[in-house]
Amino acid sequence: MNFRPPPAPLAASVAGDAPTPVWTRKAGRRLAGKVEVQGNTLYAGGLDRKVYAIDLASGDERWSARQSGMIVGGVLLVGDTLFVATSRPDGHVMALETAKGKRIWRASADPVAAPLAMIEGVLVVQTQRGEVLALNPHNGKPRWRRRVGTARGPAVPAGPGALLVSTTDSLFRLSLTDGSVTHRAVSPGAVLDAWLPYNGALVAGTSDSQVVAIQPQDLRAAWSLTVDAPVLGRPAALGDTMFLVTR
């Protein structure tokens, strides 16, 4: 791993001891994206079609719940409800209780392509056929749908009452009320992860070796920076410094 600029070395007395494993737990063949933590429990989705709840203190499995298809994008935790989406063989969106993994509701959808998002009380689903679905998070009933193109990263807020969807070639700002397109812009490159809200702008890395910032109200470019390789993950920020990992 290369750091640019290289960090100053730390003395051993300052760096402290290296971390040591507390426990190890196998959860399926591999995890399927984002995990969530609430209290002393970690929630995750596996490629074995199961959602897991793991005790963080001991590593013990509190419960697991098998779903109807391969889990896409990990899990989304809102309050005491977990939301999960699947792709093949069938696309579904499920709401599960965090206590025992009991299903609250299940809604049919085309195979899901990107992680779920909750924006102003609307559950946003993006499918492999390029549709954006807005679901009622309490019962899974659809509020609206809009075809824009296939996305890899989750939808993000784009100002009050709006969301941003990044397809392979375009950026779309949609109304949360009815899904209408309020603004559209050419994508600065393929954005494969979530946009980062930062100082009033939205920042993302692209597969074209760019870090870009846009204004969420109208999708206009604020600035861009070329880096040494594709950026496949979401940037991070601390104060006035931004951190990113290139491939």
- Chain segment 140-176, per-residue pLDDT in tens: 999 999 999 999 899 999 999 999 999 988 999 999 9
pLDDT band at 218 (very low <50, low <70, confident <90, very high): very high
pLDDT in tens, 7-36: 777 676 666 777 888 888 777 777 878 899
Give the C-alpha separation, 22 to 191, whole Å. 35
Q: For residue 119, give Cα distances in angstroms to 116, 125, 136, 137.
A: 10, 11, 11, 11
Give the C-alpha separation, 235 to 247, whole Å. 13
For 58, other C-beta atoms within 10 Å of its C-beta total 12
**DSSP symbols for 10-51:** PPHHHH-PPP--------SSSB-SB-EEETTEEEEEBTTSEE
Q: What is the mean pLDDT of residues 136-140?
A: 97
* List of residues 6+ apart from 234 with CB closer than 8 A: 193, 194, 195, 196, 204, 205
Report the b/e string of 124-156 with b at 16+ CB within 10 A: bbbbbebbbbbbebeebeeebebebbebbbbbb
Q: What are phi and psi of 13, to 5 degrees?
A: -70, -25
Bridge partners (DSSP) listed for residue 174: 163, 181
Q: What is the DSSP letter of 209?
A: S
Do residues 144 and 179 lie in contact, with contact meaning Cβ atoms separated by under 8 Å? yes
Give the C-alpha separation, 68 to 64, whole Å. 13
**Residue 26 has which token pair?**
């196998």
Query: Cis bond leading into 5, ω under 30°?
Result: yes
Q: Is the pTM of this model over 0.75?
A: yes
Give the C-alpha separation, 141 to 76, whole Å. 18
- 215: Cα separation from own chain's centroid: 20
pLDDT-above-70 percentage for the chain: 96
Give the C-alpha separation, 197 to 159, whole Å. 10
pLDDT band at 139 (very low <50, low <70, confident <90, very high): very high
Question: Is pLDDT above 60 for 1?
Answer: no
Q: What is the DSSP letter of 87?
A: -
Give the C-alpha separation, 103 to 28, whole Å. 20
